[in-house]
Copies of this chain bind each other. A is one copy, B any other.
Amino acid sequence: MSTESMSELGQQLRVDSVRCSAAAGSGHPTSSMSAADLMAVLLDGGFLQMDTDDLGNPANDHLIFSKGHASPLYYAVLKAAGIIDDAELLTFRKLDSRLEGHPTPRIPPTDVATGSLGQGLPIAVGVALAGAKLDRLPYRVWCLCGDSEMAEGSIWEAFEHAAFNGLDNLTAIIDVNRLGQTRETMVGWDLDRYVHRAEAFGWNAIAIDGHDVDAIAFAFGEAVATTGKPTVIVAQTKKGKGVRAVEDQPGKHGKPLDDAEAAIAELGGERELEVRIAAPEAGEPHVFSASGGELPTWELGDEEATRKAYGAALTALGAMRGDVVALDGEVSNSTHSEMFREAHEERYFEMFIAEQQMVAAAVGMQVRGWVPFASTFAAFLSRAYDFVRMAAVSQADIRLSGSHAGVSIGEDGPSQMALEDIASFRAINGSTVLHPSDANQTAKLVAAMADRKGISFIRTLRGKTEVRTPPDEDVAIGGSRVVRDGDDIAIVACGITVDQAFAAAETLAGEGIDARVIDAYSVKPIDAETLRSAARDCGAIVTVEDHAPEGGLGDAVLEALAEADDRPPVRKLAVRGVPTSGTPDELLHWAGIDADGIADAVRSMVRERVG
């Protein structure tokens, strides 16, 4: 490491950013050039510690590009570190290349996908939490942020949580190149404003010239030496640095340089520097001992809220497995994750009212192999929807529990009622959507989620429901249960509406209508076979859900039967209109999804078939 070698490496990173963007015909070279010196010092200065021969080494540092559009720089870094070769660098943005337009885990050692701004830093907080509190290893998390993304509120959630948790293993680097996509940012080059904000949020903050490699090295050194709090390096830079045609110019965002060859020449031409990245000291992650035990069960006929069964099951799972961790958005006495906190305090993370940071932390923890379950009201998981969307792109394995589903919560009113959650989670690639109707189902599904890949979501109820599932009955993702047999019509329900459907079926039996009741506790994947049998045996289907009519259980049933041999008419009962306050019973009735509403729908469909 010398001033000259770091500067030379910075130029190489610029040249390679220009080259791969030119080869792709698209990309963000100018946003890469501003941060090139920062990354050159991180590598050549020996600050980043990573075993490039073993990218899965648990002792490795983590490097997260929160400004994912600076992917040309990221890939140039990987080349300089010997992780990819020049030929692969030039496959940037092409089909089948591991080097996508924005980084994804398809190219190791990339932990997570970035490109939706403001997400990398909150995820970095999650990785740093894992390092400090779970793995208990000294690895560092380095996170490169753009200045435009400092306008995202999620960034400030991350600042608060990192300081609150004393994460001195986290270093954020803000590339203050002043220029956003169309104009100057709100802060521009007023570095002091970033410094004051960061300090007010409890960080150590260092303002530097982001093109002065010695200053950068000094700042990184201070970051490493600072204990008890995270450090942010606020680096004044120039977008497009080093090439007059684009340097600090507006209108040069997100496009290759007009004359790449001239730019490369101006930058001093191609270089073939390869940096031997410093390897970390060996270390093994901490393992939490499992005390054993088994999942809780409830007796048939017991009354219990599925949210409480969630808490009990998660707590038992935490005793059975040392890798399970829990996070909550400061409603742990509502979601009942408090039971886990009481039993496994070291593996519980209070994320306060910051749902974006909560989901991001879960994503960060699973990067290191932990098995996170994050809970809040299902309605408030919508706050983190972009994080869930991106978690799927990251191929992350996270488990989310949303309580207080639907109008059945009652008096608190519509702001607290999840009515769009099944639809939004179903649309996430590779997701699992579960909505158990009783405590025994809940416990078994929670256990199944721990081994599930991708995004799993379990929706729980505020009120108690009767336990109808025998403790020893098989309950599995993709399954369902036939609560009541019958061949005249099938009623497909889930969650709170199972009780209502059963009651309706009992009433209808007295009228000579024999209704089959199916509890579709696994909404995605749904038990298509059971539904197709019902379609074959019964002349009509009623679906009933405490959810909006679109994208929920009803649509899942229609999808399962879309190409089936038997396609009876399907009537979807769901919540239409904005609910108000009221008792759970009043609101279920208002929505037409109580036993009365179901029975009416069945009668009407049976009449139509006869008529």
A379 x B383 contact (CB < 8 A): no
| Among A96, A106, A200, A582, residue most surrounded by chain B Cβ atoms (within 10 Å) | A200
Whether, in the assembled complex, A201 has its beta carbon less than 8 Å from a beta carbon of chain B, the answer is yes
Q: How many Å lie between the Cα of A564 and that of B571 in the bound state?
A: 10
Of B96, B104, B562, B587, which contacts A558 at CB under 8 A?
B562
Whether, in the assembled complex, A136 has its beta carbon less than 8 Å from a beta carbon of chain B, the answer is no
Of B24, B151, B332, B350, which contacts A353 at CB under 8 A?
B151
Point out the residues of chain B lying under 8 angstroms from A180, CB to CB: 330, 352-353
Q: How many Å lie between the Cα of A353 and that of B416 in the bound state?
A: 27
B423 x A429 contact (CB < 8 A): no
B415 x A393 contact (CB < 8 A): yes
CB A88 to nearest CB in B, in angstroms, measures 14
Q: Please judge, given known A-B contacts A424-B427, A427-B550, A428-B420, whether A581 and B100 are in contact too, CB under 8 Å.
A: yes
B567 x A550 contact (CB < 8 A): no
Point out the residues of chain B lying under 8 angstroms from A334, CB to CB: 181
Point out the residues of chain B lying under 8 angstroms from A172, CB to CB: none
Report A331-385 residues with CB < 8 Å from chain B CB.
331-334, 338, 350, 352-357, 379-380, 382-383, 385
CB A251 to nearest CB in B, in angstroms, measures 9
A193 x B200 contact (CB < 8 A): yes
B116 x A352 contact (CB < 8 A): no
Report A537-589 residues with CB < 8 Å from chain B CB.
547-552, 554-556, 558-559, 562-564, 567, 569-572, 576-578, 580-583, 586-587
CB A591 to nearest CB in B, in angstroms, measures 12
Q: How many Å lie between the Cα of A199 and that of B201 in the bound state?
A: 12
Whether, in the assembled complex, A536 has its beta carbon less than 8 Å from a beta carbon of chain B, the answer is no
Point out the residues of chain B lying under 8 angstroms from A395, CB to CB: 578
| Among A182, A420, A564, A583, residue most surrounded by chain B Cβ atoms (within 10 Å) | A420
CB A308 to nearest CB in B, in angstroms, measures 15
Whether, in the assembled complex, A218 has its beta carbon less than 8 Å from a beta carbon of chain B, the answer is no
B350 x A183 contact (CB < 8 A): yes
Of all chain B residues, which has the CB nearest A68? B415
Point out the residues of chain B lying under 8 angstroms from A27, CB to CB: 411
Q: How many Å lie between the Cα of A390 and that of B419 in the bound state?
A: 11
A572 x B562 contact (CB < 8 A): yes
Point out the residues of chain B lying under 8 angstroms from A115, CB to CB: 412-413, 415-416
A181 x B330 contact (CB < 8 A): yes
Tell which of A154-162, A289-297, A464-472 binds the partner: A154-162
CB A391 to nearest CB in B, in angstroms, measures 11
Report A43-70 residues with CB < 8 Å from chain B CB.
68
CB A179 to nearest CB in B, in angstroms, measures 11
CB A147 to nearest CB in B, in angstroms, measures 10
Q: Please judge, given known A-B contacts A95-B590, A551-B555, whether A354 and B415 are in contact too, CB under 8 Å.
A: no
A383 x B524 contact (CB < 8 A): no
B581 x A414 contact (CB < 8 A): no
Of all chain B residues, which has the CB nearest A422? B427
Q: How many Å lie between the Cα of A114 and that of B95 in the bound state?
A: 45
Point out the residues of chain B lying under 8 angstroms from A419, CB to CB: 427, 429
Q: How many Å lie between the Cα of A157 and that of B154 in the bound state?
A: 9
A116 x B423 contact (CB < 8 A): no
Q: How many Å lie between the Cα of A128 and that of B334 in the bound state?
A: 35
Q: Please judge, given known A-B contacts A104-B413, A181-B334, whether A426 and B385 are in contact too, CB under 8 Å.
A: no
B562 x A570 contact (CB < 8 A): yes
Q: Please judge, given known A-B contacts A101-B581, A330-B182, whether A117 and B353 are in contact too, CB under 8 Å.
A: yes
Point out the residues of chain B lying under 8 angstroms from A549, CB to CB: 559
Q: How many Å lie between the Cα of A576 and that of B429 in the bound state?
A: 7
| Among A99, A156, A558, A587, residue most surrounded by chain B Cβ atoms (within 10 Å) | A156
Point out the residues of chain B lying under 8 angstroms from A428, CB to CB: 420, 548
Point out the residues of chain B lying under 8 angstroms from A155, CB to CB: 153
CB A273 to nearest CB in B, in angstroms, measures 27
Report A182-199 residues with CB < 8 Å from chain B CB.
182-183, 185-186, 193, 196-197, 199
Whether, in the assembled complex, A430 has its beta carbon less than 8 Å from a beta carbon of chain B, the answer is yes
Q: How many Å lie between the Cα of A94 and that of B587 in the bound state?
A: 11
Point out the residues of chain B lying under 8 angstroms from A332, CB to CB: 182
A164 x B152 contact (CB < 8 A): no
* B interface footprint on A84-122 (CB within 8 Å = 1, 0 otherwise): 000000000111110111101010000001111110000
Of B101, B153, B570, B577, which contacts A157 at CB under 8 A?
B153
Whether, in the assembled complex, A389 has its beta carbon less than 8 Å from a beta carbon of chain B, the answer is yes
Of all chain B residues, which has the CB nearest A25? B411
Q: Please judge, given known A-B contacts A153-B157, A157-B153, A200-B193, whether A382 and B386 are in contact too, CB under 8 Å.
A: yes
Q: How many Å lie between the Cα of A188 and that of B130 in the bound state?
A: 25
Q: Please judge, given known A-B contacts A101-B413, A148-B330, A153-B152, whether A93 and B581 are in contact too, CB under 8 Å.
A: yes
CB A97 to nearest CB in B, in angstroms, measures 7
Q: Please judge, given known A-B contacts A524-B550, A554-B559, whether A94 and B581 are in contact too, CB under 8 Å.
A: yes
Of all chain B residues, which has the CB nearest A146? B353
B420 x A424 contact (CB < 8 A): yes
Q: How many Å lie between the Cα of A114 and that of B416 in the bound state?
A: 10
Contact sample, A vs B, 13 pairs, CB 8 Å cutoff: A27-B411, A95-B580, A95-B582, A116-B380, A156-B156, A164-B186, A181-B334, A183-B350, A185-B352, A382-B389, A429-B578, A549-B559, A558-B558
Q: Which 5 A-B pairs have the closest CB atoms?
A: A153-B153, A115-B415, A551-B551, A95-B582, A423-B427
